[in-house]
Chain A
Amino acid sequence: MTADRSAAAIAAIRINGVDCPVPADPRMSLLDLLRETLHLHGTKKGCNQGACGACTVLVDGERIVSCLSLAVQHAGRSVTTIEGLADQHGLHPLQQAFIEHDGFQCGYCTPGQICSAVGMAAELKRGVPSHVTQDLASDHVAFSPDEVRERMSGNLCRCGAHNGIIDAISETYAEAAE
């Protein structure tokens, strides 16, 4: 047990391609590690209780709410935050689509919406069914506005940018899915 713990303590979390030490305080959430220790403020805190999705990041490509997971759980894993989505060629296509479709107002839920949508698109591609999927037996899930709306419902937006968000996601991923 003691040995395990010290092994974890020296293990690193890979964040946007950079190795970061696991924090000493085991109570620290992944969200607080990002925001307070690493100064990556792009990931937002809206509730700290898993209810709003503002803190969504990608861990090994899967979306999670970073407020509900402890940083120490992520040793040896790879985390992508909103800061890690754009590359040297510029904005991620989804970021660009959010601008074109006005998928935000205040912008506070936006990083979570975008990271969540990237993870969601991968889930759709893998054929993971949702509450609104009609044919649960098929391993192909058709892209539809309802699938997107259902799957994005964990990301709250109080400004009411919902239509723009769904349009931006649909434009970016609909064709790829067909």
Chain B
Amino acid sequence: MSIAEEAKLAVRGAIQGVMEKAIELAPDSWMPGGKPDSLIATKHGSIGASVPRIDSPLKVQGKAPFAAEFELPGMVYAALMFSTVAKGRIATLDTAQAEAAPGVVLVMTHRNAPRMESMPVFLSAEKAGGGDNLPIMQDDRIHWNGQPIAVVLAETQEQADYAVALIRASYEQDAATTSFATAKRKGTEPGLFMGQPLKTEKGSADAAFKASAAKVEATYTTPRHNHNAIEPHAATVAWDGDRLIVHDASQAVAHTAWSLGKIFGISEQQVHVTSPFVGGGFGGKCLWQHQVLGAAAAKLAGRPVRIALSREGVYRLIGGRTLTEQRLAIGADQDGRFNAIIHSGTVATTRQNGMPEPFILPTMSSYGSPNIKLDVEVVYLDMLANTFMRAPGESVGTFALESAIDELAVSLGIDPVELRILNQPSEDPLKGTPFSSRHITEAWRAGAEKFGWSKRSAPGTVRDGEWQIGIGCATATYPYHRMPGGAARITLTRDGYARVEIAAHEMGMGTATAHTQVVADRLGLSRDQVTFAYGDSLMPGVVLAGGSQQTASIGASVIAAHHVLIKELLKLAGNDSPLAGLGTDEVGTLNGGLAKLDDPSRHESYVSILTRSGRDHVAVEGSASAPLETMHWSMHSFGALFCEIGVNSVTGETRVRRFLGSYDCGRILNPKTAASQFRGGIIMGLGLALMEETQFDDRNGRVMNPSLAEYHVPVHLDVPPIDVIWTDIPDPRAPMGARGIGEIGITGVGAAVANAVFNATGKRVRDLPLTLDKLM
């Protein structure tokens, strides 16, 4: 980094620091959430009901349309050819045979691709959504092993796939850095996340650690992971003049529309991205090169294009989670009280993105300690850009942190549950801000009771035939996030129906269902009077389905629009209404209409207001307040995880026998869909614990297992019955009292399993996944 750049960062950091302090010190009442959302107090509404998914009839009949199922007249199919070297340039690229193959419409390479800008890389601007910022088929340079070097368009997928096999390429290779170990030997650099170093220190951790009576210190490693949504990435793309239409599988429709506009030199209004259903995202379904290549090829051919990645294509083109090497040191006194926590280490990333896996995140808020030191260092490799995957940071960071706590508990002879409860902080351990709502101790107690934790035996003492049995626990944690940009439109019609529109996403989280419930309660309507529309970039709002923030963002956006709606309706109600003379602050929505808050007998229905004013509908839009609550309070969700495993004493195989997650995530909006989300996260965590690894060839930077046959995810026989319970204590500072739950499920699971393996066998495995070779 240049001195000028460093200075710029320092100034930016200082300004941010002053802002943050001011927000921390401001009175509660100035903050969003300063006055708790009125829905928190509602007891008998739709919120909290176990409503089946509103899209379930479509999904069980296969009628929900996914991105690769839009059919456009004249559409052609795309297939991709991938580079086989990590760095260098294309020396020769012979496409003649492919061009002459039956059904082929064209072959696009760097020689004939339209001129385009690179993708604005995610987090570099409010609506930037790109996975990397490399030129896309603009020159002959190769940046990673697997980079697309040609696109074939043909009348059928079979014809396109066959033609790709006829393309011949040769390369002039440059020396590439593809080995983590080699790169580390050359030195690491500080990891930067949104321009800020992932580095912080409170007190003097090294000295305090040295002076501690009890110490544990170890290195933990986690491998690369792929999201592996069962729906491969796909887009159906068409140009209508200079308007671009993209039916995408997306967790970021607004980001994608804006970014594609930048890439093709058109305004974001000229780009229409839809994504009604997404077959799983987990952080992987943002903007990657395939949408851009599809749009470019459609432009070149003058025909709509379906670009559906093969499973191999997903591994070559879409980044996953990077590997981590973490050092975790805890110093404590004899009673187990922490004096020092040091969490540092190195991850691999690339120059073309900005995503050093922030594994220190869980250590920032989980436990109190007078001395804390955190540091993420990076090395840059010539590889596919890595990216966000479910609970980036926490999912792998908790493996180190929660394993180390178990190791400390063992060495001190303290129950690991009690050790965790003992070290709960009374305020944010780093910032000193108050917690908005923190009930992890209740979650631990309830979970331990239900699981039967007190029956735990000494390591290596329980057997069931050839199986060694053990139980383990760990903390799950994920912050409450709400990103700026939320906005929503509410349209109320004279028949008393409401439609809410917001550019949000449904990837299976149950968004549409939960928010139909919330909107029904907020407007005083029944669920069947509410339509929740989403997944379309023409709708209001910049709402990333990421960071577990969608529920908060939608909630705050609807609160804002609701406020405008009351104002509009009061205007329309006029002087002949029972509401005449009341101000917006005195009025709320109740029983299908407006009512005076402290005198609900002064009520007029929406139908009546709209009918009297001669309107067939009223439409309003509101923009969510800036998410200052996340700076004023320390807002986090937690969970207490328990699992029982068996390790086969002959084969070394680990099988999970039962699992319980006890969560404190604020209010649960829909127990049915929430339980599924927790379970889904836990199951992905079981994969992380036991089997998942994207195998990367250090010699040439190529992913070696780009298929679901060789990258193992948990299958039915791997998944035991999973019990999920929660405190259901509303967070007074969050819309609806709810903190997001999409990501916390995966956190802590790796450590819970590893700790149970230790309890079963007395063997401590610090390297994921816990495959049988490590236990033989």
Contacts and interface: CB of A to CB of B under 8 A. Distances in A.
Given A100-B52, A108-B279, A160-B680, A48 B310 contact: yes
Contacts of B157: 32, 36
Interface string A21-57: 0000101100010011001111111111111101000
A132 B515 CA distance: 43
A173 interface: no
B459 interface: no
Given A27-B162, A105-B508, A106-B507, A91 B61 contact: yes
A96 to B, nearest CB: 8
A144 to B, nearest CB: 12
A160 B683 contact: yes
B232 A45 contact: yes
A76 to B, nearest CB: 23
Interface in B84-123: none
A165 to B, nearest CB: 7
Contacts of B227: 158
Question: Is the interface on chain A under 10, 10 to 19, 20 to 34, or 35 or more residues?
Answer: 35 or more
Contacts of A48: 310-311
B343 to A, nearest CB: 28
B interface secondary structure, majority: loop
A162 B716 contact: yes
Contacts of A154: 715
Contacts of A61: none
A163 interface: yes
A109 B716 CA distance: 13
B187 to A, nearest CB: 38
Interface string B47-72: 00000110111111111111011010
A107 B279 contact: yes
A95 interface: yes
Contacts of B53: 99, 102
A25 B156 contact: yes
A121 interface: no
A52 B230 contact: yes
A156 B672 contact: no
A45 B601 CA distance: 56
Interface stretch (B403-411, B431-439, B474-482, B706-714): B706-714
A149 to B, nearest CB: 4
Nearest to B723: A163
Interface string B356-380: 0000000000000000000000000
A interface secondary structure, majority: loop
B677 A153 contact: no
Contacts of A155: 715-716
Contact of B676 (A36, A91, A105, A158): A105
Most buried by A among B65, B507, B677, B680: B680
A86 interface: yes
B443 to A, nearest CB: 21
A106 B716 contact: no
B673 interface: yes
Contacts of B176: none
Nearest to B672: A102
A52 to B, nearest CB: 5
Contacts of A82: 60-62
Contacts of A39: 71
B278 interface: yes
A106 B162 contact: no
A155 B714 CA distance: 10
Contacts of B709: 47, 49-51
Contacts of B708: 46-47, 49, 51-52, 156
A70 to B, nearest CB: 11
Interface in B145-200: 156-158, 162
A166 B716 contact: yes
Contact of B230 (A42, A146, A157): A157
Interface string B664-704: 00000000110111011111100000000000000000000
Given A49-B708, A99-B60, A158 B280 contact: yes
B241 interface: no
Interface string A141-156: 0000010111011111
B410 to A, nearest CB: 30
A151 B758 CA distance: 31
Given A46-B231, A159-B680, A99 B52 contact: yes
Most buried by B among A35, A40, A45, A81: A45
A160 B679 contact: yes
Given A32-B158, A51-B707, A153 B716 contact: yes
A45 B308 contact: yes
B202 to A, nearest CB: 37
Interface in A90-128: 91, 95-96, 98-100, 102, 104-111, 114
B392 to A, nearest CB: 17
A161 interface: yes
Contacts of A28: 156, 158
A36 B75 CA distance: 11
A158 B717 contact: no
B64 A107 contact: yes
A83 to B, nearest CB: 6
B592 interface: no
Contacts of B550: none
B717 A153 contact: yes
Nearest to A154: B715
Contacts of B680: 105, 159-161
Contacts of B718: 153
A163 B721 contact: yes
B62 A81 contact: yes
A91 B56 CA distance: 11
Nearest to A153: B715
A152 B716 contact: yes
Given A99-B53, A106-B229, A159-B680, A83 B673 contact: no
B263 to A, nearest CB: 27
A159 B280 contact: yes
Contacts of B607: none
Interface in B469-513: 507-510
B349 interface: no
A46 B621 CA distance: 39
A160 B681 contact: yes
Contacts of B278: 106
B623 interface: no
A106 B280 contact: yes
Contacts of A153: 715-718
A169 to B, nearest CB: 10
A104 B508 contact: yes
B329 to A, nearest CB: 33
Given A36-B156, A83-B61, A106 B277 contact: yes
Contacts of A109: 230
Nearest to B70: A41
Interface in B199-257: 227-232
Nearest to A114: B60
Contacts of A36: 156-157
Contacts of B156: 25, 28, 32, 36
Interface of A: 25, 27-28, 32, 35-36, 39-52, 54, 81-83, 85-86, 91, 95-96, 98-100, 102, 104-111, 114, 132, 146, 148-150, 152-166
15 contacts: A32-B157, A41-B65, A46-B311, A47-B232, A48-B310, A49-B708, A49-B709, A51-B311, A106-B230, A106-B508, A156-B230, A158-B684, A159-B230, A160-B714, A166-B716
The 7 residue pairs across chains A and B that have the minimum distance between CB atoms: A42-B62, A160-B680, A108-B279, A105-B508, A107-B59, A106-B508, A160-B683
Given A47-B232, A51-B707, A82-B60, 15 more contacts: A41-B65, A48-B311, A83-B61, A86-B61, A102-B52, A104-B508, A106-B230, A106-B231, A106-B277, A106-B279, A106-B280, A107-B64, A153-B715, A155-B716, A163-B719
Interface of B: 52-53, 55-66, 68-69, 71, 156-158, 162, 227-232, 277-280, 282, 308, 310-311, 507-510, 672-673, 675-677, 679-684, 707-709, 713-719, 721-722, 745
